Protein backbone atom coordinates (compact mmCIF):
# COMPACT_ATOMS: atom_id res chain seq x y z
CA UNK A 1 0.00 0.00 0.00
CA UNK A 2 2.73 2.40 0.97
CA UNK A 3 4.62 1.40 -2.15
CA UNK A 4 1.86 2.52 -4.52
CA UNK A 5 1.41 5.70 -2.56
CA UNK A 6 5.00 6.70 -3.25
CA UNK A 7 4.92 5.69 -6.91
CA UNK A 8 5.44 8.54 -9.30
CA UNK A 9 3.20 8.78 -12.29
CA UNK A 10 3.72 10.67 -15.51
CA UNK A 11 2.17 14.07 -15.17
CA UNK A 12 0.86 15.86 -18.21
CA UNK A 13 0.99 19.62 -17.88
CA UNK A 14 -0.40 22.15 -20.30
CA UNK A 15 1.80 25.16 -20.79
CA UNK A 16 0.03 27.85 -22.72
CA UNK A 17 -1.53 29.00 -24.95
CA UNK A 18 -2.03 31.87 -22.53
CA UNK A 19 1.23 31.41 -20.69
CA UNK A 20 3.21 34.66 -20.97
CA UNK A 21 6.54 32.87 -21.32
CA UNK A 22 5.58 31.10 -24.51
CA UNK A 23 5.89 34.45 -26.32
CA UNK A 24 2.46 34.42 -27.79
CA UNK A 25 -0.02 31.64 -28.18
CA UNK A 26 2.16 28.56 -28.27
CA UNK A 27 0.79 25.59 -26.37
CA UNK A 28 3.31 23.06 -25.13
CA UNK A 29 2.06 19.82 -23.61
CA UNK A 30 4.74 18.76 -21.17
CA UNK A 31 5.10 15.20 -19.93
CA UNK A 32 6.72 15.37 -16.55
CA UNK A 33 8.41 12.91 -14.30
CA UNK A 34 8.45 14.95 -11.14
CA UNK A 35 10.30 18.09 -12.10
CA UNK A 36 11.95 16.50 -15.12
CA UNK A 37 10.55 16.84 -18.63
CA UNK A 38 10.35 13.54 -20.46
CA UNK A 39 8.63 14.74 -23.59
CA UNK A 40 6.91 17.68 -25.19
CA UNK A 41 4.32 18.23 -27.82
CA UNK A 42 3.80 21.61 -29.43
CA UNK A 43 0.34 22.69 -30.46
CA UNK A 44 0.42 25.59 -32.88
CA UNK A 45 -2.14 27.32 -35.02
CA UNK A 46 -3.84 29.62 -32.53
CA UNK A 47 -2.72 32.64 -34.52
CA UNK A 48 -3.37 31.22 -37.97
CA UNK A 49 -4.64 33.89 -40.34
CA UNK A 50 -4.06 32.18 -43.64
CA UNK A 51 -1.55 34.71 -44.94
CA UNK A 52 -0.36 32.37 -47.69
CA UNK A 53 -3.91 31.93 -48.93
CA UNK A 54 -4.54 35.68 -48.78
CA UNK A 55 -1.60 36.09 -51.18
CA UNK A 56 -3.40 34.12 -53.83
CA UNK A 57 -6.17 36.71 -53.92
CA UNK A 58 -4.00 39.81 -53.95
CA UNK A 59 -1.74 41.37 -56.51
CA UNK A 60 2.00 41.33 -55.85
CA UNK A 61 2.06 44.92 -54.57
CA UNK A 62 -1.01 44.43 -52.43
CA UNK A 63 0.45 41.47 -50.58
CA UNK A 64 3.52 43.38 -49.37
CA UNK A 65 1.86 44.86 -46.24
CA UNK A 66 0.69 41.41 -45.15
CA UNK A 67 4.19 39.96 -44.84
CA UNK A 68 4.94 42.57 -42.17
CA UNK A 69 2.36 40.89 -40.01
CA UNK A 70 4.06 37.52 -39.89
CA UNK A 71 7.17 38.31 -37.91
CA UNK A 72 5.93 41.59 -36.52
CA UNK A 73 9.06 42.06 -34.42
CA UNK A 74 11.15 42.16 -37.59
CA UNK A 75 8.69 43.48 -40.14
CA UNK A 76 11.34 45.19 -42.27
CA UNK A 77 13.24 41.92 -42.79
CA UNK A 78 10.05 40.20 -43.86
CA UNK A 79 9.33 42.95 -46.33
CA UNK A 80 12.85 42.73 -47.72
CA UNK A 81 12.56 39.00 -48.29
CA UNK A 82 9.30 39.37 -50.12
CA UNK A 83 10.31 42.25 -52.37
CA UNK A 84 13.59 40.52 -53.24
CA UNK A 85 11.67 37.40 -54.24
CA UNK A 86 9.29 39.34 -56.48
CA UNK A 87 12.16 41.35 -57.94
CA UNK A 88 13.95 38.11 -58.82
CA UNK A 89 10.73 36.87 -60.41
CA UNK A 90 10.35 39.88 -62.69
CA UNK A 91 14.08 40.31 -63.26
CA UNK A 92 14.47 43.75 -61.73
CA UNK A 93 17.13 44.92 -59.35
CA UNK A 94 16.72 47.84 -56.99
CA UNK A 95 19.01 50.83 -57.57
CA UNK A 96 22.15 51.09 -55.37
CA UNK A 97 20.71 53.86 -53.23
CA UNK A 98 17.65 51.80 -52.44
CA UNK A 99 19.81 48.77 -51.65
CA UNK A 100 21.93 50.73 -49.19
CA UNK A 101 18.83 52.14 -47.50
CA UNK A 102 17.38 48.65 -47.32
CA UNK A 103 20.52 47.34 -45.64
CA UNK A 104 20.46 50.14 -43.06
CA UNK A 105 16.81 49.61 -42.21
CA UNK A 106 17.04 45.81 -42.04
CA UNK A 107 20.07 45.94 -39.80
CA UNK A 108 18.30 48.44 -37.55
CA UNK A 109 15.43 46.00 -37.46
CA UNK A 110 17.80 43.19 -36.53
CA UNK A 111 18.93 45.28 -33.58
CA UNK A 112 15.33 46.00 -32.60
CA UNK A 113 14.44 42.32 -32.85
CA UNK A 114 17.42 41.21 -30.79
CA UNK A 115 16.67 43.89 -28.22
CA UNK A 116 13.13 42.66 -27.85
CA UNK A 117 14.38 39.10 -27.61
CA UNK A 118 16.93 40.04 -24.96
CA UNK A 119 14.39 41.89 -22.85
CA UNK A 120 11.75 39.15 -22.91
CA UNK A 121 14.29 36.36 -22.52
CA UNK A 122 15.77 38.04 -19.46
CA UNK A 123 12.27 38.62 -18.14
CA UNK A 124 11.51 34.91 -18.49
CA UNK A 125 14.64 34.05 -16.55
CA UNK A 126 13.68 36.51 -13.84
CA UNK A 127 15.68 39.64 -14.60
CA UNK A 128 13.15 42.38 -15.12
CA UNK A 129 15.54 45.34 -15.50
CA UNK A 130 16.91 44.51 -18.98
CA UNK A 131 13.39 44.61 -20.42
CA UNK A 132 12.97 48.26 -19.52
CA UNK A 133 16.36 49.19 -20.88
CA UNK A 134 16.04 47.24 -24.11
CA UNK A 135 12.58 48.57 -24.86
CA UNK A 136 13.86 52.07 -24.22
CA UNK A 137 16.59 51.59 -26.80
CA UNK A 138 14.26 49.81 -29.22
CA UNK A 139 12.06 52.88 -29.08
CA UNK A 140 14.82 54.90 -30.76
CA UNK A 141 14.97 52.41 -33.63
CA UNK A 142 11.21 52.55 -34.00
CA UNK A 143 11.40 56.33 -34.12
CA UNK A 144 13.76 56.09 -37.08
CA UNK A 145 11.28 53.75 -38.79
CA UNK A 146 8.43 56.12 -38.04
CA UNK A 147 10.33 59.07 -39.42
CA UNK A 148 11.26 57.12 -42.50
CA UNK A 149 8.05 55.40 -43.52
CA UNK A 150 5.36 56.55 -41.11
CA UNK A 151 4.80 53.36 -39.14
CA UNK A 152 6.61 51.89 -36.22
CA UNK A 153 5.90 48.18 -36.26
CA UNK A 154 4.22 47.01 -39.45
CA UNK A 155 6.32 49.29 -41.53
CA UNK A 156 5.68 48.41 -45.19
CA UNK A 157 8.96 50.21 -45.81
CA UNK A 158 9.97 48.67 -49.14
CA UNK A 159 8.21 48.41 -52.44
CA UNK A 160 8.84 46.07 -55.31
CA UNK A 161 11.66 47.66 -57.29
CA UNK A 162 13.04 49.94 -54.62
CA UNK A 163 11.66 52.35 -52.09
CA UNK A 164 8.53 54.44 -52.02
CA UNK A 165 9.87 57.14 -49.74
CA UNK A 166 13.07 59.09 -50.21
CA UNK A 167 15.30 59.15 -47.14
CA UNK A 168 14.26 62.08 -45.01
CA UNK A 169 16.52 64.99 -44.21
CA UNK A 170 18.85 64.17 -41.37
CA UNK A 171 18.44 60.42 -41.76
CA UNK A 172 22.17 59.77 -41.91
CA UNK A 173 22.84 61.95 -38.89
CA UNK A 174 20.10 60.31 -36.89
CA UNK A 175 21.29 56.79 -37.68
CA UNK A 176 24.91 57.66 -36.91
CA UNK A 177 24.00 59.27 -33.62
CA UNK A 178 21.95 56.20 -32.77
CA UNK A 179 24.99 53.99 -33.42
CA UNK A 180 27.20 56.14 -31.20
CA UNK A 181 24.60 56.20 -28.47
CA UNK A 182 23.79 52.52 -28.65
CA UNK A 183 27.25 50.93 -28.26
CA UNK A 184 27.62 51.77 -24.55
CA UNK A 185 24.10 50.44 -24.04
CA UNK A 186 25.16 46.97 -25.23
CA UNK A 187 27.99 47.09 -22.73
CA UNK A 188 25.44 48.01 -20.12
CA UNK A 189 23.38 44.90 -20.84
CA UNK A 190 26.52 42.83 -20.73
CA UNK A 191 27.36 44.33 -17.36
CA UNK A 192 23.93 43.40 -16.12
CA UNK A 193 23.85 39.87 -17.44
CA UNK A 194 27.02 38.35 -18.84
CA UNK A 195 28.78 37.77 -15.54
CA UNK A 196 25.67 37.66 -13.41
CA UNK A 197 25.79 34.37 -11.53
CA UNK A 198 22.04 33.72 -11.62
CA UNK A 199 22.01 34.34 -15.37
CA UNK A 200 24.90 31.94 -15.86
CA UNK A 201 23.45 29.27 -13.58
CA UNK A 202 20.23 29.37 -15.52
CA UNK A 203 21.74 29.39 -19.01
CA UNK A 204 25.10 27.62 -19.15
CA UNK A 205 24.66 24.06 -20.34
CA UNK A 206 20.90 24.40 -20.80
CA UNK A 207 19.19 23.43 -24.03
CA UNK A 208 22.19 22.09 -25.90
CA UNK A 209 21.64 21.50 -29.62
CA UNK A 210 24.84 20.55 -31.40
CA UNK A 211 25.73 21.28 -34.99
CA UNK A 212 24.70 17.87 -36.32
CA UNK A 213 21.26 18.13 -34.77
CA UNK A 214 20.92 21.71 -36.00
CA UNK A 215 21.53 20.49 -39.54
CA UNK A 216 19.13 17.60 -39.09
CA UNK A 217 16.33 19.87 -38.01
CA UNK A 218 17.21 22.60 -40.47
CA UNK A 219 17.72 25.07 -37.65
CA UNK A 220 19.23 28.35 -38.80
CA UNK A 221 20.16 31.72 -37.43
CA UNK A 222 21.81 32.41 -34.09
CA UNK A 223 20.88 28.94 -32.81
CA UNK A 224 22.97 27.34 -35.55
CA UNK A 225 25.81 29.82 -35.17
CA UNK A 226 25.98 29.20 -31.43
CA UNK A 227 26.70 25.57 -32.33
CA UNK A 228 29.87 26.71 -34.07
CA UNK A 229 28.68 26.69 -37.67
CA UNK A 230 29.75 29.80 -39.56
CA UNK A 231 26.62 30.06 -41.69
CA UNK A 232 25.10 33.38 -42.47
CA UNK A 233 23.17 33.99 -45.67
CA UNK A 234 24.46 37.54 -45.78
CA UNK A 235 27.90 36.03 -46.42
CA UNK A 236 26.92 32.75 -48.06
CA UNK A 237 24.68 34.20 -50.77
CA UNK A 238 24.87 37.97 -50.49
CA UNK A 239 21.75 39.92 -51.38
CA UNK A 240 20.96 43.62 -51.50
CA UNK A 241 24.65 44.50 -51.63
CA UNK A 242 25.75 42.82 -48.42
CA UNK A 243 28.98 41.73 -50.09
CA UNK A 244 30.23 45.34 -49.99
CA UNK A 245 30.24 45.48 -46.22
CA UNK A 246 32.83 44.14 -43.89
CA UNK A 247 31.51 42.23 -40.90
CA UNK A 248 32.16 39.09 -38.90
CA UNK A 249 29.90 36.13 -38.26
CA UNK A 250 29.92 35.55 -34.51
CA UNK A 251 29.93 31.87 -33.55
CA UNK A 252 29.68 30.07 -30.27
CA UNK A 253 31.28 26.85 -29.13
CA UNK A 254 29.10 25.21 -26.51
CA UNK A 255 25.79 25.33 -28.40
CA UNK A 256 23.95 26.13 -25.18
CA UNK A 257 21.58 28.92 -24.24
CA UNK A 258 24.34 31.09 -22.87
CA UNK A 259 26.28 30.93 -26.12
CA UNK A 260 23.20 31.90 -28.07
CA UNK A 261 22.93 34.93 -25.85
CA UNK A 262 26.55 35.86 -26.54
CA UNK A 263 26.13 35.32 -30.28
CA UNK A 264 23.12 37.63 -30.44
CA UNK A 265 24.88 40.31 -28.42
CA UNK A 266 27.81 40.19 -30.82
CA UNK A 267 25.43 40.24 -33.78
CA UNK A 268 24.07 43.56 -32.58
CA UNK A 269 27.59 44.98 -32.60
CA UNK A 270 28.20 43.62 -36.09
CA UNK A 271 24.91 45.13 -37.27
CA UNK A 272 26.11 48.50 -36.02
CA UNK A 273 29.29 48.01 -38.03
CA UNK A 274 27.30 47.32 -41.19
CA UNK A 275 25.05 50.33 -40.57
CA UNK A 276 28.03 52.63 -40.14
CA UNK A 277 29.59 51.45 -43.39
CA UNK A 278 26.32 51.71 -45.26
CA UNK A 279 25.53 55.20 -43.97
CA UNK A 280 29.02 56.44 -44.83
CA UNK A 281 28.78 55.22 -48.41
CA UNK A 282 25.14 55.74 -49.29
CA UNK A 283 25.12 56.47 -53.03
CA UNK A 284 23.05 59.14 -54.71
CA UNK A 285 20.64 58.35 -57.49
CA UNK A 286 17.15 57.04 -58.04
CA UNK A 287 15.39 54.95 -55.40
CA UNK A 288 12.97 53.12 -57.64
CA UNK A 289 13.69 50.87 -60.59
CA UNK A 290 11.38 50.72 -63.56
CA UNK A 291 8.52 48.47 -62.52
CA UNK A 292 5.21 48.40 -64.36
CA UNK A 293 2.25 49.63 -62.36
CA UNK A 294 0.30 46.54 -63.32
CA UNK A 295 2.67 43.75 -62.40
CA UNK A 296 2.37 40.57 -64.45
CA UNK A 297 5.44 38.42 -63.84
CA UNK A 298 6.30 35.71 -66.36
CA UNK A 299 5.34 32.13 -65.64
CA UNK A 300 7.86 30.62 -63.27
CA UNK A 301 8.85 30.05 -59.73
CA UNK A 302 11.46 31.53 -57.48
CA UNK A 303 12.87 30.87 -54.03
CA UNK A 304 14.70 33.69 -52.29
CA UNK A 305 15.93 33.49 -48.74
CA UNK A 306 17.46 36.14 -46.54
CA UNK A 307 19.03 36.17 -43.13
CA UNK A 308 16.25 37.44 -40.89
CA UNK A 309 17.08 38.11 -37.23
CA UNK A 310 15.71 34.69 -36.33
CA UNK A 311 17.24 32.63 -39.12
CA UNK A 312 16.71 31.85 -42.77
CA UNK A 313 13.54 33.46 -44.02
CA UNK A 314 12.56 32.16 -47.43
CA UNK A 315 9.86 33.07 -49.91
CA UNK A 316 8.83 30.61 -52.59
CA UNK A 317 6.61 32.27 -55.15
CA UNK A 318 4.96 30.54 -58.07
CA UNK A 319 3.64 32.74 -60.83
CA UNK A 320 1.20 31.59 -63.47
CA UNK A 321 1.50 34.78 -65.46
CA UNK A 322 -1.58 36.46 -64.01
CA UNK A 323 -1.90 39.42 -61.69
CA UNK A 324 -1.99 37.31 -58.55
CA UNK A 325 0.63 34.83 -57.39
CA UNK A 326 -0.39 31.22 -57.89
CA UNK A 327 1.19 30.27 -54.59
CA UNK A 328 3.31 31.99 -51.98
CA UNK A 329 5.01 29.69 -49.54
CA UNK A 330 6.93 31.18 -46.65
CA UNK A 331 9.74 29.38 -44.89
CA UNK A 332 9.60 30.98 -41.49
CA UNK A 333 12.70 30.55 -39.32
CA UNK A 334 10.69 30.36 -36.11
CA UNK A 335 8.63 27.36 -37.21
CA UNK A 336 11.67 25.33 -38.26
CA UNK A 337 13.62 26.30 -35.15
CA UNK A 338 10.72 25.30 -32.94
CA UNK A 339 10.95 21.71 -34.20
CA UNK A 340 14.11 21.30 -32.18
CA UNK A 341 12.34 22.19 -28.94
CA UNK A 342 11.51 18.59 -28.07
CA UNK A 343 15.09 17.45 -28.24
CA UNK A 344 16.43 20.47 -26.39
CA UNK A 345 13.91 20.17 -23.59
CA UNK A 346 14.17 16.41 -22.96
CA UNK A 347 15.75 15.79 -19.60
CA UNK A 348 15.64 19.43 -18.56
CA UNK A 349 13.66 20.87 -15.69
CA UNK A 350 10.34 22.66 -16.04
CA UNK A 351 11.94 26.01 -15.36
CA UNK A 352 14.41 25.39 -18.19
CA UNK A 353 11.58 24.97 -20.68
CA UNK A 354 10.88 28.68 -20.38
CA UNK A 355 14.54 29.48 -20.92
CA UNK A 356 14.73 27.23 -23.97
CA UNK A 357 11.59 28.63 -25.60
CA UNK A 358 13.04 32.07 -24.96
CA UNK A 359 16.38 31.26 -26.52
CA UNK A 360 14.80 29.96 -29.72
CA UNK A 361 13.45 33.48 -30.27
CA UNK A 362 10.14 32.47 -31.75
CA UNK A 363 7.34 34.71 -32.90
CA UNK A 364 3.99 33.02 -33.12
CA UNK A 365 2.73 35.29 -35.86
CA UNK A 366 5.37 33.77 -38.06
CA UNK A 367 4.86 30.16 -36.95
CA UNK A 368 1.12 30.12 -37.57
CA UNK A 369 1.06 32.71 -40.35
Partner 1 sequence: MIRLLKKILLLDLLQGLWVTFRNQHPKHIYTEQYPIERPKVAERFRGAPRLNINPDNGETLCISCDLCAIACPENLIVVTSVRNPVTKRKDLTTFVYDTSRCMFCGLCEDACPVDALELTQDFELASYTREGLIWDRQTLEEGPKPTRYTS
Nearest distance from residue 321's CB to partner 1, in Å? 20
The Cα 332–Cα 277 span in angstroms is 29
Inter-residue contact 282 to 125 (CB < 8 Å): no
The Cα 277–Cα 275 span in angstroms is 5
Nearest distance from residue 123's CB to partner 1, in Å? 15
- Based on the shown chain and the rule CB under 8 A, indicate whether residue 148 belongs to the binding site for partner 1: yes
Q: Judged by CB, which is closer to partner 1: 16, or 325?
A: 325
Task: Please identify, among the stretches 3-11, 62-70, 96-104, 272-280, the one whose residues bind partner 1 according to the rule CB under 8 A.
Answer: 62-70
Nearest distance from residue 163's CB to partner 1, in Å? 12
The Cα 106–Cα 99 span in angstroms is 10
Q: Judged by CB, which is closer to partner 1: 190, or 213?
A: 190
Q: Judged by CB, which is closer to partner 1: 54, or 208?
A: 54
Q: Which of 60, 66, 217, 315 binds partner 1 (CB under 8 A)?
A: 66
- Based on the shown chain and the rule CB under 8 A, indicate whether residue 291 belongs to the binding site for partner 1: no
Work out whether strand 36-43 and strand 158-159 pair parallel, antiparallel, or are unpaired.
unpaired
Q: Which of 29, 47, 179, 192 binds partner 1 (CB under 8 A)?
A: 192
Task: Please identify, among the stretches 144-152, 204-212, 311-319, 332-340, the one whose residues bind partner 1 according to the rule CB under 8 A.
Answer: 144-152
- Based on the shown chain and the rule CB under 8 A, indicate whether residue 324 belongs to the binding site for partner 1: no
Write phi, then psi, for 28 (nearest 5 degrees): -115, 125
Cα–Cα distances in angstroms (integers) from residue 120 to residues 164, 207, 262, 268, 358, in the given order? 33, 17, 16, 16, 7
Q: Judged by CB, which is closer to partner 1: 68, or 87?
A: 68
- Based on the shown chain and the rule CB under 8 A, indicate whether residue 175 belongs to the binding site for partner 1: no
Question: Which residues have a Cβ under 8 Å from the Cβ of 137 and sit 6 or more positions away?
Answer: 115, 182, 185
Tell me 362's DSSP state.
-
Q: Which of 61, 210, 244, 339 binds partner 1 (CB under 8 A)?
A: 61
Write phi, then psi, for 311 (nearest 5 degrees): 145, -160
- Based on the shown chain and the rule CB under 8 A, indicate whether residue 196 belongs to the binding site for partner 1: yes
Q: Which of 73, 74, 115, 193 binds partner 1 (CB under 8 A)?
A: 193
The Cα 333–Cα 308 span in angstroms is 8
Give CA angle at 37 (35, 42), nearest 5°. Answer: 135
Nearest distance from residue 322's CB to partner 1, in Å? 16
- Based on the shown chain and the rule CB under 8 A, indicate whether residue 296 belongs to the binding site for partner 1: no
Q: Judged by CB, which is closer to partner 1: 174, or 213?
A: 174
Task: Please identify, among the stretches 64-72, 83-91, 338-346, 348-356, the one whose residues bind partner 1 according to the rule CB under 8 A.
Answer: 64-72
- Based on the shown chain and the rule CB under 8 A, indicate whether residue 262 belongs to the binding site for partner 1: no
- Based on the shown chain and the rule CB under 8 A, indicate whether residue 150 belongs to the binding site for partner 1: yes
- Based on the shown chain and the rule CB under 8 A, indicate whether residue 258 belongs to the binding site for partner 1: no
The Cα 335–Cα 218 span in angstroms is 10
Inter-residue contact 257 to 356 (CB < 8 Å): yes
Helix (H, G, I), strand (E, B) or coil at 276: helix
Cα–Cα distances in angstroms (integers) from residue 329 to residues 90, 326, 359, in the given order? 17, 10, 26
Inter-residue contact 268 to 248 (CB < 8 Å): no
Could you say which residues in the range 118-137 bind partner 1, by CB under 8 A? 129, 133, 136
Nearest distance from residue 129's CB to partner 1, in Å? 6
What is the contact surface with partner 1 in residues (CB under 8 A)?
58, 61-66, 69, 129, 133, 136, 139, 143, 146-151, 154, 156, 164-165, 168, 188, 191-193, 195-197
Amino acid sequence: MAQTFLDSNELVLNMGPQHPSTHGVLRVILKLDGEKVTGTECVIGYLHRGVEKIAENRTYQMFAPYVDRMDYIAAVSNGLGYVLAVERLIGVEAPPRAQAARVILTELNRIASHLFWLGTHALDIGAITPLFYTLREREEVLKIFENYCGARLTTHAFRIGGLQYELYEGFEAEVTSFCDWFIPKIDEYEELLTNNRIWKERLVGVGILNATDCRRYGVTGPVLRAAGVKWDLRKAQPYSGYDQYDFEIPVGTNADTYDRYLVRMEEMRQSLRIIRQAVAAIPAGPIMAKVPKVLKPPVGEVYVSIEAPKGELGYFIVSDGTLNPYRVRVRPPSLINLQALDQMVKGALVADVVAIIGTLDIVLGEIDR
